[in-house]
Amino acid sequence: MAENLQCYAIDDLMNRVFEMSKGRLQMRLLGTNVQVARFMPPQAAGEGDMSFLTNAAYAEAMKASKASLLILREQDVPALFGEQVPERSILVCDNPYAFFAFASQILFHVKEPAGIHPRAFVEEGAEVDPTATIEALAVVKAGAKIGARTVVKSGAVVGNRVTVGSDCILYSNCVLERDSVVGNRCIFQPGCVIGGDGFGFAPFKGEWVKIPQLGRVVIGDDVEIGANTTIDRGALEDTVIGNGTKLDNQIQLGHNDRVGEHVVMAACVGIAGSTSVGDHCMIGGAAMINGHIDIPAGSAVGPATAITGWGKESVQKTGFFPAMEGRDFQLASAMVTRLPAMRKEVKALVRRVEELESIIRSAEE
């Protein structure tokens, strides 16, 4: 086991994970109450390490592992060891991967010293909780409120009248523009921009006239925003991100978008303005979604998929060309350009066949 790692008794770690999961993760310990400090792959684990099994390909490595604690599903214990459970510590858990996620937050939590750095810029009228951390060169503008134990890293900017809840982390160079509202336990990765102006312009005699963006961005609890992701403020109403939603890097959300709870989006997704994404949706990387669309809860959009409309049903939609050799792709593209003309030809042929069938039936009668 590596040095300088903090050890935890597994029963204490289990209790804390149970609390973090709000009692939804079911666990029981077989064997002794060992001391653990980190997770390692089964083939590399040793004393003080934990290994968990989610992929059957690692079953043999798990059986031979020297880890102090094995984390397995109920059905995996007899599958690995038969009826005779070995004399070693095993945590039986209904979701080992979720245990890994919760426990890692405990094992590798870095506590920042509270207070405002002398080289931070906190304007008069800003409210910073005494337990919060404002690092050097961070900016907190007038009217902003920073909650308990929230950390604002160097170079981050919290705009006028922004409200940030407790236990949040604003990493370097992220920006929360004026009047944005953020819940508790949110994470903003470096470079993300929350509450910039939406893309609103009115056409006027060959020119584009800017429309002031008067809404806010409102973000719920337990939301994570990836690096360089941008979420535009609403034009008149608010742009809203629901509780538990996770956004990857370099995503663009337009003004007045409404994203539900526990939605996940992979990198480079773009969603135009005034689109609604329901709870528990999954959006694949580089998907492009048009504006003014309502995507029902539980739907899924595949990677690199263009969405121009949606029905009322919760479904999975995927549409893109798989990679081909250059010549094959050129031929396929040429066929696609011919589809409108081919459609007309097919409709004409259908009409002609129907006419011929009618003539034949008349002759037979």
pLDDT of residue 124: 97
Q: What is the CA radius of gyration of the chain?
A: 28
Contact 167, 150 (CB under 8 A): yes
* Partner residues linked to 27 by β-bridges: 93
**Which residues of the chain have a pLDDT value below 70?**
1-4
pLDDT of residue 3: 55
Hey, which residues are catalytic here? 255
The H-or-E segment that residue 327 falls in is: helix 326-364
pTM for this model (two decimals) = 0.86
Amino acid (1-letter code) at residue 221: D
pLDDT of residue 219: 98
pLDDT of residue 4: 63
Residue from 218, 227, 315, 288 nearest 258 by CA: 218
Tokens of 18: 């149970």
Tokens of 46: 């040793």
Amino acid (1-letter code) at residue 285: G
Q: At what angle do helices 96-107 and 10-20 cross, to 10 degrees?
A: 100
Distance CA 307, CA 287 (A): 8
pLDDT of residue 84: 83
Distance CA 251, CA 225 (A): 9
pLDDT of residue 245: 98
Distance CA 331, CA 345 (A): 20
* Partner residues linked to 158 by β-bridges: 140, 176
| CA dihedral sign of residues 351, 357, 360, 362 | negative
* Partner residues linked to 139 by β-bridges: 121, 157
